[in-house]
Amino acid sequence: MADELFQDPRLAVLYDPLDPDRGDLDAYVRLVEEFGARQVLDLGCGTGVFALLLAERGVDVVGVDPARASLDVAGAKAGGERVRWLHGDGTDLPPLQVDLATMTANAAQQITDHGAWRATLAGVRAALRPGGRFVFETRDPSRRAWEGWNRAASHGVTEVPGVGAVENWVDLVEVDGPLVTFRWSYVFAADGQVLTSESTLRFREREEVEADLLAQGYVVDDVRDAPDRPGREFVFLARRPRA
Ligand SMILES: C[S@@+](CC[C@H](N)C(=O)[O-])C[C@H]1O[C@@H](n2cnc3c(N)ncnc32)[C@H](O)[C@@H]1O
């Protein structure tokens, strides 16, 4: 089940306007080029920014997300008809044989349950052609990103076309080992409505992710930095072996 901020239609339309700088996706576009990928599965595609970037370049893309409202935003965008949008997650994928699977913007951290994480890795592996790659990122726990998730650091007011001014901020709720819970609040100036969305993310160590990938039959080719967030992310480049 996805969080309110992705699955409530009133919040899903805010995702892009509240986070318009998608320079984080440049490195993923370069990887698609580096691998010469022609068929890509974008898991946790959300509002489809990355899937649409690829479709524009002539790549055959399947975008999958458990949040229907985010998929609706994605499908309504220019070029949305070029992508195959699927409501679901990595555990219920249809038969696919893609060159590359991706999970951008730390979508991997949304999968907090270990069984669901293992099943997602297995589902993605089955969707890759032999030799196909799986690339995703997760925040380095040692950088304790959650220490910056507070009202003072996050408060802002954004004018959203068609919606009006939206004030929003985040509050940290709880840190319980690798699980970090926080709550976003949104105040709509147009009607005074206040909506909140509570999320929990799992912060995994690099060694833990490597072991999980190996256990599900991947080879880990590389663990890179995210060029736009140096020292803060682990970007895993995993591969389904040919034999
Ligand atoms: C931070 S958003 C990133 C969206 C998109 N990848 C991007 O770059 O904008 C995280 C996404 O993960 C999705 N998500 C939540 N649980 C998931 C799961 N179990 N499997 C795949 N995606 C999931 C959410 O619905 C949301 O769209």
**Domain CATH number, residue 19:** 3.40.50.150
Whether residue 92 is found in the same domain as residue 184: no
Kindly state if the Cβ of 188 falls inside 6 Å of ligand 1: no
Whether residue 102 is found in the same domain as residue 147: no
Whether residue 112 is found in the same domain as residue 176: no
Instruction: Decide: 140 and 233 in contact? Cβ < 8 Å.
Output: yes
Whether residue 37 is found in the same domain as residue 152: no
Q: How many CA atoms lie within 13 A of 112 on its CB side?
A: 14
CA of 22 to the centre of ligand 1 (A): 15
Kindly state if the Cβ of 123 falls inside 6 Å of ligand 1: no
Kindly state if the Cβ of 89 falls inside 6 Å of ligand 1: yes
Whether residue 105 is found in the same domain as residue 69: yes
Pick the residue whose CA is nearest to atom 10 on ligand 1.
107
Q: Name the β-bridge partners of 135.
A: 102, 237
Residue type for position 15:
Y
Whether residue 87 is found in the same domain as residue 195: no
CA of 211 to the centre of ligand 1 (A): 22
CA of 243 to the centre of ligand 1 (A): 31
Whether residue 225 is found in the same domain as residue 190: no
Whether residue 133 is found in the same domain as residue 160: no
Dump pLDDT digits (tens) for 96-106: 999 999 999 99
Cα–Cα distance, 88 to 68 (Å, whole number): 9
Pick the residue whose CA is nearest to atom 26 on ligand 1.
46
CA of 216 to the centre of ligand 1 (A): 21
Cα–Cα distance, 173 to 170 (Å, whole number): 9
Range of the domain at 100: 4-141+203-239
Whether residue 86 is found in the same domain as residue 18: yes
State which ligand 1 atom lies nearest to the alpha carbon of 105: 8
Q: Using most ligand atoms within 8 A of CB, pick from 65, 71, 86 the residue to mutate for ligand 1.
A: 65
Provide the number of structural domains found in the chain. 2
Whether residue 88 is found in the same domain as residue 122: yes
Whether residue 175 is found in the same domain as residue 77: no
Kindly state if the Cβ of 132 falls inside 6 Å of ligand 1: no
* Tens digit of each residue's pLDDT, the chain (243 residues): 679 999 999 999 999 999 999 999 999 999 999 999 999 999 999 999 999 999 999 999 999 999 999 999 999 999 999 999 999 999 999 999 999 999 999 999 999 999 999 999 999 999 999 999 999 999 999 999 999 999 999 999 999 999 999 999 999 999 999 999 999 999 999 999 999 999 999 999 999 999 999 999 999 999 999 999 999 999 999 999 997
Cα–Cα distance, 47 to 17 (Å, whole number): 11
Whether residue 30 is found in the same domain as residue 130: yes
Instruction: Decide: 25 and 53 in contact? Cβ < 8 Å.
Output: yes
Q: Using most ligand atoms within 8 A of CB, pick from 18, 22, 110 the residue to mutate for ligand 1.
A: 110
pTM attached to this predicted model: 0.98
Q: What is the pLDDT of residue 243?
A: 76
Kindly state if the Cβ of 235 falls inside 6 Å of ligand 1: no
Kindly state if the Cβ of 44 falls inside 6 Å of ligand 1: yes
User: Three-state SS across the chain?
Assistant: CCCHHHHCHHHHCCHHHHCCCCHHHHHHHHHHHHHCCCEEEEECCCCCHHHHHHHHCCCEEEEEECCHHHHHHHHCCCCHHHCEEEECCCCCCCCCCEEEEEECCCHHHHCCCHHHHHHHHHHHHHHEEEEEEEEEEEECHHHCHHHHCCHHHHCEEEEECCCEEEEEEEEEEEEECCEEEEEEEEEECCCCCEEEEEEEEECCCHHHHHHHHHHCCCEEEEEECCCCCCCCEEEEEEECCCC
Buried b (16+ CB within 10 A) or exposed e, 50-61: bbbbbbeeebeb
